[in-house]
Amino acid sequence: MQLVISPLIIALDYADERDALILADQLDPAQCRVKVGKELFTASGPSIVERLQERGFDVFLDLKFHDIPQTVAKACRAASRLGVWMLNVHASGGSAMLRAAREAVEDGGGTRRPLLIAVTVLTSMDDDALHEVGVNSSVVEQVGRLATLAAACALDGLVCSALEADRLRNVLPELLRVTPGIRPAQYAEDDQRRIMTPAAALAAGSDFLVVGRPVTAAVDPARALGQILNELVAKPGDSREPG
């Protein structure tokens, strides 16, 4: 079973390249993309991206850059040269940083321009967690503020909770919505607080769904991935990419 364009991104949250590749070799790149985060990239470096691409996978480089504009621009340019499909920055870095990142991916020198998306509020955070770090807005208000900033800086999309996706689809339809915290109904919440099932997330307005442990911790990862895809075929959503 295969979707023409799968909205699923499997999070390869491993401590070393060997384990990540063992998992990747059990998956079909026609059925999902993969995400490389801070732990795996720090342990393995650019080679993990290259090896996943050799296996046919589009790679979302999830390093959430947040620094002075020049430093972020250089990092985004380096990621572009790696040929990643998508990378992200923190919207809270401000407009100068976001514009520098956008300009860097546009002239990054890779074989294709990666999608550049902005992190709004981490899905592990709720209102209390925001207040703890001095943000007096609610999660909904802060997500909206940062999403509007990302749109003004011409980014391609957002990382957001599925709980915010529908509202963002209505007010900022030009932005893709990439949603972590996706859990099939039978799975525990783990460290994610703002979560949703895959089919519900697509129906709510998410374009791409980041799934980790429900696939990577499964006895049969390929079967677990197939079950999620079957659920999405039964209740299709609207997955899209910029033309």
| Other C-beta atoms lying within 10 Å of the C-beta of residue 10 | 27
Find out whether 120 is annotated in a ligand binding site: no
Find out whether 237 is annotated in a ligand binding site: no
Find out whether 62 is annotated in a ligand binding site: yes
Q: Which of 25, 28, 58, 62 is catalytic?
A: 62
Q: Which of 19, 28, 67, 166 is catalytic?
A: 67
Asked if 216 and 10 touch (Cβ cutoff 8 Å), the reply is: yes
Find out whether 212 is annotated in a ligand binding site: yes
Q: Which of 25, 38, 58, 64 is catalytic?
A: 64
Exposed e or buried b per residue across 186-201, where buried means at least 16 C-beta atoms within 10 angstroms of its C-beta: ebeeeebbbbbbbbbb
**Active site (annotated) includes residue 62:** yes
Find out whether 192 is annotated in a ligand binding site: yes
Find out whether 63 is annotated in a ligand binding site: yes
Find out whether 51 is annotated in a ligand binding site: no
**Active site (annotated) includes residue 64:** yes
Residue 61 pairs in a beta bridge with 36, 87
Cα-to-chain-centroid distance, residue 50: 19
Among 99, 141, 137, which residue's Cα sits nearest to residue 118?
99
Dist CA 88 CA 160 (whole Å): 12
Find out whether 67 is annotated in a ligand binding site: yes
Find out whether 74 is annotated in a ligand binding site: no
Q: Parallel, antiparallel, or unpaired for β 86-90 and 59-65?
A: parallel
Catalytic residues: 62, 64, 67
Mark the binding-site residues for substrate, compressed into ranges.
Answer: 13, 35, 62-71, 123, 183, 192, 212-213
Mark the binding-site residues, compressed into ranges.
Answer: 13, 35, 62-71, 123, 183, 192, 212-213
